[in-house]
């Protein structure tokens, strides 16, 4: 009886030790699902503080959190970064950052006029991206591809998402990163609006993850840095009811409906957003 008791005590001690050893591993696995953004490096902080940036873009910083977002994606000095269908907002940050750190900024589409003076903003290269375009860059030469609030525009166009994500994956080096930010439908289902799924501008995490996985990319982590719990996602003109578009009628054309309260939507701020980091397997 004494021997049995001692045996049970030893087994209990071993079980406790095993649990103590296994818990950190489990915690680390969970940490890969939702992560806080690391701190931005000094060059990124400088690029964001650049007085040459437009006032219209700088006022968006509290909503778009560029330092936290780019740090979460893993932006590092010297990287070759492709920005997909850029506007001026991130181009004003990424092009000078590339210049300052010996990296390379590549945008898809046409030259962004706001950063056309490359003596001020740094060198930029622009490449085509459309249904019939070829490789963005030589295969496996980009460190990072980033796309901000674009997925919802491709989602309803047959074949577009598959083509674009395949292009992103082909461009990335093994171990390279695809960073995606878009308007989050979750926890509600995607809406069938304006004759198409996700037609109000809000898309689900599952839709983006499925597209990335099909292209051979792996969801490594997500961040809540661009979350907005005030966004009820039931606005009369979709996500575009919110700033910065602030539509007051369908497609912002025609008369504003009676009783429409623009201040209500301004107070919400910009949309609740997914921030996802995918990696190309090494």
pLDDT at 257: 95
Tens digit of each residue's pLDDT (9 = 90 or more) over 211-227: 999 999 999 999 999 99
pLDDT above 60 for 244: yes
Domain ranges of the chain: 1-31, 36-279
Q: Is the pLDDT of residue 264 over 90?
A: yes
With a cut of 80, say whether residue 26 has pLDDT above it: no
Question: What six digits make up the tokens of 83?
Answer: 């920005």
Band of the pLDDT at 29, cuts 50, 70, 90? very low
Q: Which two tokens mark 216?
A: 């051979």
Give the bridge partners for 125, in sequence order: 106
Share of the chain above pLDDT 70, in %: 88
Cis omega before residue 187 (within 30°)? yes
Predicted local distance difference test score (pLDDT) of residue 37:
67
Beta carbons of 126 and 108 less than 8 angstroms apart: yes
Q: pLDDT averaged over the chain?
A: 90
Percent of the chain residues past pLDDT 90, beyond the cut: 84
Enter the CATH code of domain 36-279. 3.40.50.150
pLDDT at 166 over 70: yes
DSSP of 163-214, one letter per residue? HHHHHHHHHEEEEEEEEEEEEB-TTSPPPEETTEETTTS-B-HHHHHHHHHH
32: Cα within 13 Å, side-chain hemisphere: 10
Q: How far apart are CA 133 and CA 127, in angstroms?
A: 9
pLDDT tens-digit readout, 66-82 = 999 999 999 999 999 99
What are the E-state strand segments in the chain?
80-83, 104-108, 125-127, 142-148, 172-183, 192-193, 196-197, 218-223, 273-279
């Amino acid at each position: 009886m004494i021997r049995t008791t001692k045996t049970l005590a030893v087994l209990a001690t071993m079980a406790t030790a095993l649990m103590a050893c296994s818990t950190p591993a489990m915690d680390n696995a969970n940490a890969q699902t939702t992560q806080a953004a690391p701190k931005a490096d000094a060059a990124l902080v400088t690029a964001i503080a650049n007085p040459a940036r437009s006032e219209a873009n700088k006022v968006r910083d509290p909503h778009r959190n560029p330092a936290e977002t780019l740090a979460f994606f893993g932006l590092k000095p010297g990287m070759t970064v492709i920005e997909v269908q850029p506007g001026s907002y991130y181009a004003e940050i990424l092009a000078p950052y590339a210049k300052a750190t010996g990296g390379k900024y590549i945008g898809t589409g046409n030259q962004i006029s706001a950063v056309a003076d490359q003596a001020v903003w740094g060198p930029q290269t622009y490449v085509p991206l459309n249904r019939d375009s070829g490789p963005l860059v030589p295969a496996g030469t980009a460190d990072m591809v980033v796309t901000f609030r674009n997925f919802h525009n491709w989602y309803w166009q047959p074949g577009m998402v598959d083509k674009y994500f395949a292009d992103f994956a082909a461009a990335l080096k093994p171990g390279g990163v695809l960073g995606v930010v878009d308007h989050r439908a979750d926890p509600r289902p995607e809406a069938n609006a304006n004759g198409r799924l996700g037609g109000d501008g809000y898309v689900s995490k599952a839709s983006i993850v499925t597209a990335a996985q099909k292209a051979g990319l792996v969801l490594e982590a997500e961040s809540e840095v661009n979350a907005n719990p005030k966004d009820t996602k039931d606005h009369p003109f979709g996500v575009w009811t919110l700033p910065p578009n602030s539509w007051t009628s369908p497609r912002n054309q025609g008369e504003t409906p009676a009783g429409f309260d623009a201040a209500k939507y301004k107070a919400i701020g910009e949309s609740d957003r997914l921030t996802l980091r995918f990696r190309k397997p090494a």
